[in-house]
């Protein structure tokens, strides 16, 4: 994709993210249509409303692009694709807990080129463009290396798509390494926090593309390491994800088993 085409999408993404964040902020005070899609898998009316806004704005400006949304599924076929999670952390949103986000990633040729994660109730927008760094609002972000695992904070996402024992065993290994853990309920914000040096790693043994399409780029552009999340059929089926400060890569790959077989991303971001 030509730089001018990417410039146009970057500008549009900034506008769309701000508008979507404002809509989610308004809807947050009184969540409507709260339902369960599955065990601990919430959906609200806001999920659909925010996604329709984002998809509609993309369609107005770039009708030739494809879209993959958590609620609306895949629309169109193109080498240029937008990947959208309208409300990541819906359980938090549904219970009026402010830790939720909106994630929008843009891929061209299978490679993340643009990404934004908005935290509407915190007034923060995390953004990145391939080769141009990552930012929280206007402040450049950089991953932070702890002195050792005894000072590391590792966020662990949880999914019913894996047995509970897989999660608790991973938790035991992380704690046994000397690190502490966090689980805040938004994978997208978990990735953004690694990029911003607030935590030192994020791992989930299975996660969908819309949760991390933006976050992968944020971490890479902030100097972090991410496993090759987009390998295989990740857009349709999801994959494990591990993102961390580079100095923790060896330890966390060993603890989690994520990223052992593929260093493609590591080679790309060096």
Q: What is the share, in percent, of the chain residues with pLDDT greater than 70?
A: 94
pLDDT of residue 158: 87
Contact (Cβ atoms closer than 8 angstroms) between residue 87 and residue 24:
yes
Q: Half-sphere exposure of 83 toward its Cβ, with a 13 Å CA cutoff?
A: 28
pLDDT of residue 52: 96
The whole-chain average pLDDT of the chain stands at 92
CA-to-CA distance for 267 and 235, rounded, in angstroms? 22
Ramachandran quadrant class, 114 (left: phi over 0; alpha: psi -120 to 50; beta: rest) = beta
Indicate whether 265 pLDDT > 50: no
Overall average pLDDT of the 37-56 stretch: 85
pTM of the model as a whole = 0.92
Overall average pLDDT of the 70-88 stretch: 92
CA-to-CA distance for 246 and 143, rounded, in angstroms? 9
pLDDT of residue 149: 94
Sorted by where each starts, the structural domains of the chain and their CATH numbers stand as 3-140 (3.30.540.10), 149-269 (3.40.190.80)
Q: What is the share, in percent, of the chain residues with pLDDT greater than 90?
A: 82
Q: What is the pLDDT of residues 175-229, one digit of tens each?
A: 999 999 999 999 999 999 999 999 999 999 999 999 999 999 999 999 999 999 9
Q: What is the pLDDT of residues 17-33, one digit of tens each?
A: 999 999 999 999 887 88
Contact (Cβ atoms closer than 8 angstroms) between residue 91 and residue 42:
yes
Three state DSSP letters for 250-266: HHHHHHHCCCCCCCHHH
pLDDT of residue 234: 93
Cα angle, residue 204 at apex, residues 200 and 210 outer, rounded to 5°:
105
Overall average pLDDT of the 249-262 stretch: 86
Indicate whether 268 pLDDT > 70: no
pLDDT of residue 71: 85
Q: What is the pLDDT of residues 103-118, one digit of tens each?
A: 999 999 999 999 999 9
Contact (Cβ atoms closer than 8 angstroms) between residue 158 and residue 250:
no
pLDDT of residue 41: 67
Contact (Cβ atoms closer than 8 angstroms) between residue 115 and residue 104:
yes
CA-to-CA distance for 225 and 205, rounded, in angstroms? 16
Q: Which residues, at least 6 apart from 267, have a Cβ–Cβ distance to it below 8 Å?
A: none
Can you list the positions of beta strands (E) in 109-249? 111-119, 124-129, 134-136, 139-140, 153-156, 180-182, 201-207, 225-226, 239-244
* Residue 39: pLDDT band with limits 50, 70, 90: low
Indicate whether 98 pLDDT > 70: yes
CA-to-CA distance for 219 and 242, rounded, in angstroms? 10
pLDDT of residue 32: 85
Indicate whether 263 pLDDT > 50: no
* Residue 74: pLDDT band with limits 50, 70, 90: confident
């Amino acid at each position: 994709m030509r730089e001018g085409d990417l410039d146009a999408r970057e500008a549009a993404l900034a506008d769309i993210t701000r508008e979507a964040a404002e809509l989610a902020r308004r809807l947050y005070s009184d969540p409507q249509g709260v339902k369960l899609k599955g065990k601990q898998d919430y959906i609200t009316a806001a999920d659909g409303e925010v996604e329709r806004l984002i998809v509609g704005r993309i369609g107005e400006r770039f009708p030739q692009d494809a879209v993959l949304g958590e609620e609306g599924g895949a629309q169109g076929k193109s080498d240029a694709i937008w990947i959208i999670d309208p409300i990541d952390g819906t359980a938090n949103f549904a219970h009026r807990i402010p830790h939720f986000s909106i994630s929008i990633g843009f891929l061209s040729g299978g490679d993340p080129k643009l990404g934004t994660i908005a935290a509407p109730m915190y007034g923060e927008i995390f953004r990145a463009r391939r080769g141009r760094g990552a930012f929280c609002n206007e402040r450049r972000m950089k991953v932070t290396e702890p002195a050792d695992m005894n000072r590391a904070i590792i966020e662990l996402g949880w999914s019913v798509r894996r047995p509970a024992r897989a999660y608790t065993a991973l938790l035991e290994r992380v704690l046994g390494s000397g690190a502490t853990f966090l689980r805040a309920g938004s994978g997208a914000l978990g990735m953004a926090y690694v990029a911003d040096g607030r935590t030192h790693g994020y791992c989930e043994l299975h996660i969908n593309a819309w949760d991390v399409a933006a976050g992968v780029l944020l971490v890479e552009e902030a100097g972090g390491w991410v496993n090759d999340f987009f390998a295989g059929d990740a857009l349709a089926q999801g994959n494990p994800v591990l993102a961390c400060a580079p100095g923790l890569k060896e330890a966390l790959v060993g603890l989690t088993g994520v990223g052992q077989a593929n260093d493609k991303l590591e080679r790309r971001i060096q």
